[in-house]
Amino acid sequence: MIHIAFRRGLFRGLILAAGSLTGVCAGTARAEEYPRAAVAATQQHLATALDETFDAWEPALALFGPLGEFEIENTVGLALRGLGAFARADAHWARAQELARRSGDDMALADIESKRGEIALTIGDYARVETIADDMLRIAQRAQLRWAEATAEEYVGVLDRRRGKLDTSLGHAQRALDLQRELGNESASATVLSNLGTLARDRGDFAKALEYFLQVLPIRERIGDRLELTLRNIALIYRDLGDEAATRDYFEKALVVARARGTSSDYAAVLGTYAGYLADLRDFKPALAAANEALAIERELGNRQSIGFDLLHSGRALLGLGRAEEATPRLNDALAIGRALEQREIMARSLLTLAEASLARGDRKHAHALLNETLASPQAADNKLLLVQAYALHEHLASADGNNATALDYAHKQAALRAELLGTSANRRLSALEGQYARAAAEQKLALVTKDNQLQSARLGQEQLQRRYGLATLGGLSVLLALLAWRFFGVRRLNRALAQRNEEIETKRAALAEANHRLERQTEQLYHAAITDSLTGVFNRGQLMRQLDARFNDCVRDGRELAVLLIDFDHFKQVNDKQGHLFGDRILIAGVQTLREWIEPDDLLGRYGGEEFIVAFSGRDADKVRTHAERLREKVAQALASVAPQLDPRATISIGVALLSQLPQPQKLVGLIDAADQAVYAAKAAGRNRVKLVQVA
């Protein structure tokens, strides 16, 4: 009776609080520019009233005993979370957690821990997420709770992804998915699949990311939960693939679903992401409107990470509209939130946009400082599009300062990175097309299997009919003969139809095999074009750097020596100016062909840019490296002398050599290439046609 009285009192208090707030909140909603923000504000007021009503009853909780007190705290927490009052809900669940711990109820304790972990992820309290995940793993092992283990693995995977630890994140997410599938939890499996899709997108595997989200989509459509976020995630994949039509289509679908049945937080999440997409398209006016509405909602809900992104998107839109003075405070606020949460993307993009705002105000010194901080951030190293924007801004600043050499250097960096991005984009689209083709083939196979099943079902039906007709023989010989004749002609017609249908299926199978063969040839051609230099046939810069990065990491891990030879064709500009570019191309082709003939089978050779090439190999000491480099220099000089004997000075190469063992800690690939570049300059300064090995301090 006490439990019932308390629940009735609590419910009556909630109704009275809602009634007292109706007039106030309705007026607020009319006054507010954004109705969704007014709804969120109303929910927060209602949550406050509910919490205060509960506080009035708190002294009576001891009457219900520990179990009753736990149930009440848990129920109030659920109600407050439903209203978007995450901090208030967490406070009640913290008390419920302590009650569950005292009672020794591991099931209840794990349930409360999972709810608190979800809130901690939402508000960006990563330290608490880590603590909760560790607690849940201990509870899961102690009480053999597989679902708790799966939830803990999921939280750790999300946490590692947000901190940039993509490899470890993948292991945790896959473990969580395996556990949820063992448990048959479809909704939780969809959540983990969404996390895996986001992780694949962060790793650049857009075909795999699209595959994950397309697995999630029918589940979300069936259960009607968080469908708008799945549609938004698919839109982001198509944005990264450069498919603007599909991106807009999925964003619009996500917004329609979010407006119709999404929560305020999910609607704001979709709208904020859409604002960032519009800002990328330079459609600044609607981008600002969307970002402002999302920001108003998130401020009511108190989601700091989302507030940071909305401030960033609105600041970018204001800057694009020429309102730099209004943009700067928002960008500074976004940067402060990013630093507080250690959210790398918010920090890097805020710094870059603040640099643009400083340049727009004419403060080039501050713009320089912000750009340097942007390039030093870990996010810049992983985000090549961000680097392109930073290089373009650096070029503009250097030109404005009259430093043409620096401006030209950044222009070259920007052009090289854009070329690499074009190749990357082509590879992404090719991977997505391959994934779509594979799904289409699977659907075709399923359709054929379905048709075969239908034919089998038809045959079974015929057999049943034949058995029934056999029983009719007792009715008379004449009836039997008539039925047999009828069946005979019916079976003949069916066999003819089946033969015709089999011919159609065989024709379609042959056409599908031919299309598959054509696609394989095109895929091979596209891949070869994407990784090779069209003039010399060796690896292009993008493939060279990927191969060199992998070899560098292997050598660092295994403690093996790695030598990088940066090769520069001497007097190449003079050759082009005097003899023409076609002659210069012949020089490059002949030189590279000689290099290919005299390097070892496992040596790496690629075009670094212009007349610069890189040869890399491992497992040789400094003396052997120098000997190998001298042999390459001599052989190329001999080959070029026979190809172009008329040149004066002779066509030769200079080689700069850098060794991994001579790099200072921490060892980085860019440092190794820079050392080789310094060696080339030393060889040039010493008279060209020679090998120099830099001794790095």
Give the model confidence (pLDDT) of 597-629 as tens digits. 999 999 999 999 999 999 999 999 999 999 999
- Return the ∠ at Cα 655 (arms to 653 and 656), rounded to 5°: 155
C-alpha–C-alpha distance, residues 677 and 280, integer Å: 36
Q: How far is CA 692 from the centre of its chain?
A: 42
C-alpha–C-alpha distance, residues 588 and 612, integer Å: 10
Closest of 245, 292, 298 to residue 268, by C-alpha: 298
Please report the pLDDT score of residue 440 as a whole number.
53
- Cα–Cα distances in Å, from 656 out to 2, 124, 412, 628, 683? 86, 48, 21, 12, 7
User: Quick one: tokens of 50?
Assistant: 């509910």
Domain boundaries, the chain: 416-468+492-531, 541-693
Confidence of residue 3 (pLDDT cuts 50, 70, 90): very low
Start-to-end CA distance of the chain, whole Å, equals: 81
Please report the pLDDT score of residue 298 as a whole number.
85
pLDDT at 134 over 80: yes
Confidence of residue 221 (pLDDT cuts 50, 70, 90): confident
Confidence of residue 22 (pLDDT cuts 50, 70, 90): very low
Confidence of residue 576 (pLDDT cuts 50, 70, 90): very high
Please report the pLDDT score of residue 20 as a whole number.
42
Please report the pLDDT score of residue 420 as a whole number.
65
Query: What is the residue-averaged pLDDT of the chain?
Result: 82
Confidence of residue 2 (pLDDT cuts 50, 70, 90): very low
Please report the pLDDT score of residue 455 as a whole number.
64
427 or 543: whose pLDDT is higher?
Answer: 543
Please report the pLDDT score of residue 606 as a whole number.
97
pLDDT at 329 over 90: yes
Are 70 and 251 in contact by the 8 Å Cβ rule? The answer is no
- Return the ∠ at Cα 124 (arms to 77 and 357), rounded to 5°: 135
pLDDT at 542 over 90: yes
What's the pLDDT tens digit per position in 64-85?
Answer: 777 777 888 888 888 887 777 7
What's the pLDDT tens digit per position in 160-205?
Answer: 887 778 889 889 999 989 998 998 888 888 898 889 888 887 777 7
Task: Please provide the CATH number assigned to the domain covering 541-693.
Answer: 3.30.70.270
Overall average pLDDT of the 359-378 stretch: 79
C-alpha–C-alpha distance, residues 156 and 174, integer Å: 11
Give percent of the chain above pLDDT 70: 86
Least confident of 206-210, 307-311, 616-620, 691-695: 206-210
Count, in order, helices (H) and strands (E) of the chain. Answer: 27, 5
C-alpha–C-alpha distance, residues 103 and 70, integer Å: 10
C-alpha–C-alpha distance, residues 455 and 331, integer Å: 65
Least confident of 16-25, 384-393, 547-556, 660-669: 16-25
Overall average pLDDT of the 98-125 stretch: 86
Please report the pLDDT score of residue 633 as a whole number.
97
Give percent of the chain above pLDDT 90: 26
Bridge-partner residues for 656, per DSSP? 566, 692
pLDDT at 523 over 80: no
| Residue entry with tokens 């003949």 | 492
Please report the pLDDT score of residue 450 as a whole number.
61
Q: Which helix (H) or strand (E) holds 50?
A: helix 35-57
pLDDT at 372 over 90: no
- Cα–Cα distances in Å, from 78 out to 3, 47, 297? 18, 11, 21
**Which of the given ranges, 91-105, 401-415, 455-469, has the highest pLDDT on average?**
91-105
Overall average pLDDT of the 306-327 stretch: 90
Phi, psi for 496 (deg, rounded to 5): -65, -40
pLDDT at 338 over 90: no
Handedness of CA 430, 432, 437, 438 (dihedral sign): positive
Beta strands (DSSP E) in 561-639 are 562-569, 604-609, 612-618
Please report the pLDDT score of residue 208 as a whole number.
85
- Tell whether pTM > 0.85: no
C-alpha–C-alpha distance, residues 590 and 213, integer Å: 49
